[in-house]
Structure 1
Amino acid sequence: MLNDNSILVLGAGELGMAMLRSLSRRARHADNVSIAVLLRPSTISSENPVRQKNVDELRALGLELVAGDVATQTGAELAAIFSRFDTVISCTGFVGGSGVQRKIAHAALDAGVKRYFPWQFGVDYDVIGRGSAQDLFDEQLDVRDLLRAQSRTEWVIVSTGMFTSFLFEKSFGVVDLETRTVNALGSWSNAVTVTTADDIASLTVEVLFTEPRIANQVVHIAGDTVTYREVADTVDRVLGVKVRRNEWTVPELKRQLAEEPQNGLRKYRVVFAQGRGVAWDMNQTFNAKRNIGVCSLEEWLRNNLSDAPLASG
């Protein structure tokens, strides 16, 4: 059983809410597990209907709401909050810009938490390496270096690939359902690993509670690993259309980035087009080795976008 009974989740966005729901379900079958969530004071008191709904749900689940802000508070202030808890799971995303992920990691270590799951729910930054087109990734490597350089706090990094929903964000530019277009990043044979937020949450909770205990390692999970050709074929098959297919080569994507060097989405496109650290073998994942069911790309598409509006041309 899990010995570290008090758990603090940072953030209640898409992944944070999924994580808190999953933890709450699991805590019903565990001994003396308490769950809290760090929210901005403005979120707790917000009159925004969506935020109100989330806060009401968290209260209904019996979770403790802790006021705090990882972007604006100092590391010492965050450490004082974290020190009450055995385990901290960061679901913040890249909130607050440069330096925040390092600050949170330092705060977790300074607080002496027993176990820390940093915000690394994405690509494999070790494989991508430093100096990539997406400069935020270097900070993720700084966090890994920091955690690996100490032994007081156990850490677990969960590599998930891209959130499945992000693959279909029009702004990202891979799948544009309105114009029936799929753009391959790099080449049609390039692969990408995708995982839904719900699967990321449930599998992270499974990692948290697994015995023998998982500590001080990177754990790879995946909902699906697909080539861009398979993405286009899946859209065709599920939606009953024939998408237009464009291949965006690395030189072309670098040229686009040079036109807008601060465009975060263009930075991401270059990294994914280069094809390193963004996909892994499904058979080697934590979920596959334990025969845990996950949501495939096709299943997600059928569940979420089968009624999506499509251009007539």
Structure 2
Amino acid sequence: MSHDHSILVLGAGELGIAVLRSLARRAASAPGVSIAVLLRSSTIDSSDPLKQQDIAELRSLNIELVAGDLTAQPEASLAAVFRRFDTVISCTGFVGGKGVQLKIARAVLEAGVKRYFPWQFGVDYDVIGRGSAQDLFDEQLDVRDMLRSQHETEWVIVSTGMFTSFLFEPSFGVVDLEQTTVHALGSWDNAVTVTTANDIGMLTTEIVFAEPRMAGQIVHIAGDTVTYRQLADAIDATLGLTVRRMEWSVPQLTGELTQEPENSIRKYRLVFAEGKGVAWNKGQTFNAQRGIAVCGLEAWMRENLLTDVGLSLR
């Protein structure tokens, strides 16, 4: 089937589903726009009730389900899948392991896709540079180099900072609500930019359809940019707590990573503690410049944490 603007989203995890919902809302009032999602056959045909619920939602949004496996399929096979779409948006995350992001980018270019949004929904890898504690980030720079070295496929990179929810992920350890403790990565004055998955989905859709057309650029967005001191203060004020405040220094985190060099969480902690490319001025972001409302840190806590931790506003 031919469309004026056909969009393929890779993956339907936390970010993918947010992007798909937002794109589907836009497509409902935009004639000629079609949305599809690439999922494993095992996911499409799953008997798991939760996955069935997700599949039913996607179908109710008139999203085409395309079977594919980004890890198992060779590049030529993926290119054959991508070829009929105008825009490809990768929402895969790092779950596929090393090499997958480069493989997807090569398949996109081989397919001659008009426009590509790679999986770069995170920190600013150019600023961080090569050789960081998180070795997966070097591949992100390889993808940028590949896209910049050609002119047939337009590309847009959306830098979002950390997902807001991940800042409160117990395994990450920055916010430990059970122990009412906040750990500062590197310094209390270090900052981190955070954006919710829903806002990333909404803003990515705005960027896809923005006029004049956006291409060949890195677009920064932000729900909030806060120092770890401001984070601790916000938790105290919003959740009615008095958190203990502990700093994890760069030397301490470096030593912990040396003890477990393959520990992904320790890699992330050290990168954020070093404080480069992980925060930017919210006032200079796409959403601020366009006057688009987003969910800030305190609003996210009120919506997601007050009930969960059995707390109420003072």
- The answer for the alignment partner of 1:42 in structure 2 is 42
State the match for 1:127 in structure 2: 127
Residue equivalent to 2:263: 263
Cα RMSD for the two superposed structures:
1.1
Superposed CA deviations along residues 144-181 of structure 1, whole A, max 9, x for unmatched, are 00000000000000000000000000000100111101
Aligned equivalents of 2:218 and 2:4: distance in 1?
A: 20
Per-residue Cα deviation, 1:244-279 (whole angstroms, up to 9, x for no partner): 110000000001101110000000000000000000
Once the two structures are TM-superposed, the CA of residue 308 in structure 1 deviates from its matched residue by 2.9
Cα distance in 2 for partners of 1:224, 1:160 equals 10
* Mapped contact 1:4–1:114 kept (Cα < 8 A): no
The reply to whether residue 294 of structure 1 matches residue 294 of structure 2 is yes
Correspondence list, 1:166-181, <5 A: 166-181=166-181
**Number of corresponding residues:** 309
TM-score (norm 2): 0.97
Q: What does residue range 11-30 of structure 1 map to in structure 2 within 5 Å? A: 11-30=11-30
Matched residue SS, 1:62: coil
CA apart distance, 1:51? 1.0
The 5-angstrom pairing of residues 143-222 of structure 1 reads 143-222=143-222
Aligned 8 A contact 2:4 2:32 in 1: no
Q: CA deviation at 1:93?
A: 0.4
In structure 1, stretches of 5+ residues that fail to align are none
Equivalent residues of 2:121, 2:158 under 8 A apart: yes
Q: Does 1:281 align with 2:281?
A: yes
Paired amino acid for 1:36 = A
Distance in structure 2 (CA, Å) of the matches to 1:136 and 1:241: 36
Deviation at 1:310, TM superposition (A): 7.1
Q: CA deviation at 1:135?
A: 0.1
Q: CA deviation at 1:49?
A: 1.7
How far apart, CA to CA, are the structure 2 residues paired with 1:95 and 1:270? 20
Kept in 1, the 8 Å contact 2:169–2:175? The answer is yes
**1:244-263 maps to which residues of 2 (within 5 A)?**
244-263=244-263
* Alpha-carbon distance between aligned partners in 2 of 1:87 and 1:285, rounded to the nearest angstrom: 23
CA contact (8 A) 2:155 2:217 kept: yes
Alignment of 1:92 with 2:95, yes or no, is: no
Deviation per CA, 1:200-243, whole angstroms, max 9, x where unpaired? 01001000000110000000000000000111111111110101
Given that residues 98 and 136 in structure 1 are in contact (C-alpha distance below 8 angstroms), is that contact kept between their aligned partners in structure 2? yes
Q: Is the 8 A contact 2:22 2:202 kept in 1?
A: yes
Q: Which residue of 2 aligns with 1:57?
A: 57
What are structure 2's unaligned runs of at least 5 residues? Answer: none
Local SS of the residue matching 2:65: strand
**Secondary structure in 2 aligned to 1:218?**
strand
Q: How far 1:307 sits from its partner (Å)?
A: 2.1
Is the Cα–Cα contact under 8 Å of residues 27 and 34 in structure 2 kept in the other structure?
A: yes
Instruction: Check whether the contact 1:82–1:113 (CA below 8 A) recurs between aligned residues.
Output: yes
Secondary structure in 2 aligned to 1:246?
A: strand
